[in-house]
Amino acid sequence: MQKREELYRGKAKTVYFTDDSEKLILHFRNDTSAFDGEKIEQLERKGEVNNKFNHFIMTKLEEAGIATQVESLLSDTESVVKKLDMIPVECVVRNVAAGSLVRRLGVEEGMALEPPVFEFFLKNDALHDPMVNDYHIASFGWATADQVEKMKALTFEVNAVLKALFDAAGMILVDYKLEFGVDANGNIVLGDEFTPDGCRLWDKETRKKMDKDRFRQGLGSVVETYIEVAERLGLKL
């Protein structure tokens, strides 16, 4: 498979066309950003770790019957993925109160949320990814009602699989975001990535933060902690 011109360059990943019109190459870079790109650093090995971590998690979800964009690892920092028409909203599930939920509602960090909280956010850095709901999505034509319900259902299926996976490895899946797209057959498919960059993970016993909050909050050992998460799950890096 031949890499062609760049399709999209995000804060930490670059997407390339290939000589196959139905396939893309997803390149994970060492760039690390927070606060809508206001804080940016290069962290050695981060691209490799996130690429392999994402492939590992997506494989687990595929094994559980959840369709994902990922097809295969191409190199240490690149994966082959299906081409999707991405829906411009993020699906967020919160199992434990943290982050913006705490700031918005004044609840205590660490509060267990039963049932989990589901939220939609518009993918728009310039607007700081504002929270939206089903009505916004319908009115602005970002997705159909059926697609919205499918994204919700799939997000909770992912939650069931990954909560158990991380729990067995001594971690709490606090919250995370997912992105979905539409494939050539009109199916809703999980796209983008699932890495410690896009979720919150805490150690079950110590509540040590094991995700990108280490970068946001200047806690250090970002990539080292990502590797620890991977190895607890059984992925050797």
Q: Tell me which of 22, 53, 82 is where a domain ends.
A: 82
CA-CA distance, 109 to 74, in Å (whole number)?
39
Question: Mean pLDDT over residues 163-173, rounded?
Answer: 98
> Does residue 43 share a domain with residue 107?
no
Q: Tell me which of 35, 66, 82 is where a domain ends.
A: 82
Residue spans of alpha helices (H) in the chain: 46-63, 100-105, 134-139, 145-168, 213-216, 222-233
pLDDT tens digits, 113-133? 999 999 999 999 899 999 999
Q: What percent of the chain has pLDDT over 70?
A: 99
Residue 234 domain-assigned?
no
> Does residue 202 share a domain with residue 119?
yes
Residue 204: phi and psi, rounded to 5, are: -65, -35
The pTM for the full model equals: 0.95
Q: State which amino acid sits at residue 147.
A: Q
> Does residue 216 share a domain with residue 177?
yes
Residue 229 domain-assigned?
no
CA-CA distance, 67 to 82, in Å (whole number)?
11
Residue 63 has pLDDT above 90, yes or no: yes
Domain with 78 in it: 3-82
